[in-house]
Chain A
Amino acid sequence: MKATQQLEQQLKRRSKAAKLEIWGRVVSFSALLLIVAVVVAIIGFVASKGIATFTSNHVNLWDFLTGKQWNPNITDANGKPEVGALPMIVGSFLITILSALVATPFAIGTAVFMNEISPNKGAKILQPVTELLVGIPSVVYGFIGLSVVVPVTRAIFGGSGFGILSGTCVLFVMILPTVTSMSADALKSVPRYYREASLALGATQWQTIYKVVLRAATPGLMTAVVFGMARAFGEALAVQMVIGNAALMPNSLVSPSSTLTSVLTTGIGNTVMGSLQNNALWSLALVLLLMSLIFNLIIRLIGRKGRLQ
């Protein structure tokens, strides 16, 4: 009986591992909490500034979302400032979707190549090159866009060369490395025995890739695309240099247009904090946040569906 009690005592004493576990939970949770605080702070900051346009400057939300004139310095015939964000919303939307559409097959194709077909070449050439490109400042991308992409577009499609098409080309190259390396990671996390099982069943390599590996990696690939789109959304400097940055509704892919970020970045230093002009720009940032939220949710839904099948 005494031995039992002693054992019970030993077993119920809080071990070092249990203490460490609590410590680890606390530490890692505080780190997460910190990030959440950062996210909440920034989102709150943008929201409070962005909403001021509607609350303290009394701009009609509907006018803001559907208006096509962006001249915050000027008031229109009704005495309301001209803050119509539709051209920028459409511009951002188009350029993000288009560049993701173009980049995704290339990125996933390259990732598959790196991971399934020629891991050796992939690790030796593709991975370092892609990692290198992530670090090139957007201003450099912008300049290459300006001196290479815009003239080529102009020569082929006419017009000034500035526009969504040029922007898409530049963004495509910019997000390619991010999407590729994240896709490669997603493919890497598919267990080897999935492939072996499929190959053992007599499937060709392509069938295995297409039906097994890509299916299993769908959520990860989705994340990669979302991240690419997020980067495309948030990119300003490079896009601003090649899209033309004119607050006009895009009537073709080669007419000068603008994105939320490009107008935001161009204007923010020239306006006074707290003024309508400044608040209107923050409203653009808020729209940007909401749009990226919506994109995220859509992709998540797709990802979930893919997983269920």
Chain B
Amino acid sequence: MFVNNDVRKSEEMLERHVTQPSEAGHPIILSTEDLHVYYGKKEALFEGDLQFASNQITALIGPSGSGKSTFLRSLNRMNDRIATVTGRIMYRGVDINQPAVDVYEMRRRVGMVFQRPNPFAKSIYDNIAFALRLRGVTGKHELDEIVETSLKQAALWDQVKDDLNKSALALSGGQAQRLCIARAIAVKPDILLLDEPASALDPVSTGQLEDTLLELKENYTIIIVTHNMQQAARISEYTAFFNQGRVLEYDTTSQIFTNPQVQVTSDYVSGNFG
């Protein structure tokens, strides 16, 4: 098999430490098996097998180009048109990486929020209600309720409740990103994937966003890619460290940050690398 030439096959690099989350009360909801992602002929991800515990926050960290975003985007098949993804993605016992699975139905259970806030050019209300309407939720009362709960869950309600009919494009970066979260959770997914959601935000907004995520964890399983190691340490239960297209270390967040098993991880979290 063609392997990325950039991979340095030194002894040090082959060292891996991947565990399984095994806390009682948090069963495995999503896992990947034998996952490989290719962009054309270039293999962008291999040895990327992980298991995710429900109602927990898992952080994916690692240097740029390490494959963590690729991995995340593969989980709800956002890479379908861009890359070739082989292997199994087991969601509650069902392989969602098989062609027979309806991606649109699947994505309603595995939602995603992106790096750059991308509110639609619609009103705040419509941003949230619009996908629901397309799926047959038409009752005004019902919609109002969902919009309100979603915005409350995303900690945005108090700021926008009087401006629901104004354009979402007028929101500030942090507000827009929380609107995107509200939009994602309005369709009631199981799992929420976040791709560096705070990278475009200022520290205050980032703090608010983190608080939101901690609250959301009650109802959702959250997987978050982040560049910010403090953020990973602050909010996540588990952390996976990606490097050069594979997972080098996966353990509880406290283990990764206090007692990493792999030298590269240790270098990375201590800031000597990356």
Contact = CB atoms under 8 A, between A and B. Distances in A.
Interface string B81-101: 000000000011110100011
Given A4-B92, A4-B93, A4-B94, A11 B104 contact: no
A11 B93 contact: no
Residue among B93, B94, B134, B135 facing the most chain A CB atoms (10 A cut-off): B94
Interface in B91-116: 91-94, 96, 100-106
A12 B103 CA distance: 9
Contacts of B135: 16
A10 B93 contact: no
Contacts of A14: 102
A125 interface: no
A268 to B, nearest CB: 48
A259 B160 CA distance: 64
Interface in A1-60: 3-4, 7-8, 10-18, 21
A88 B101 CA distance: 61
Interface residues of B, number: 15
B189 to A, nearest CB: 13
Contacts of A11: 94, 96, 101-102, 105-106
Contacts of B105: 10-11, 13, 15, 17-18
A17 B104 contact: yes
Contact of A8 (B94, B103, B134): B94
B102 A7 contact: no
A195 to B, nearest CB: 17
Interface in A74-100: none
A7 B136 CA distance: 20
Contacts of B92: 3-4, 7
B94 A18 contact: no
A17 B136 CA distance: 11
B115 to A, nearest CB: 13
A12 B102 CA distance: 5
Nearest to A17: B104
A12 B100 contact: yes
A11 B98 CA distance: 11
A12 to B, nearest CB: 5
B81 to A, nearest CB: 12
A18 B134 CA distance: 13
Interface in B219-240: none
A18 B93 contact: no
The 3 closest A-B pairs by CB, nearest first: A17-B104, A4-B93, A15-B105
Interface of B: 91-94, 96, 100-106, 134-136
Given A4-B94, A12-B101, A17-B102, 10 more contacts: A3-B92, A3-B93, A4-B92, A7-B92, A7-B93, A8-B93, A11-B94, A13-B102, A13-B105, A16-B136
23 contacts: A3-B93, A4-B92, A4-B94, A7-B93, A7-B94, A8-B93, A10-B105, A11-B94, A11-B96, A11-B101, A11-B106, A12-B101, A13-B102, A13-B105, A15-B102, A15-B105, A16-B134, A16-B135, A16-B136, A17-B102, A17-B134, A18-B103, A18-B104
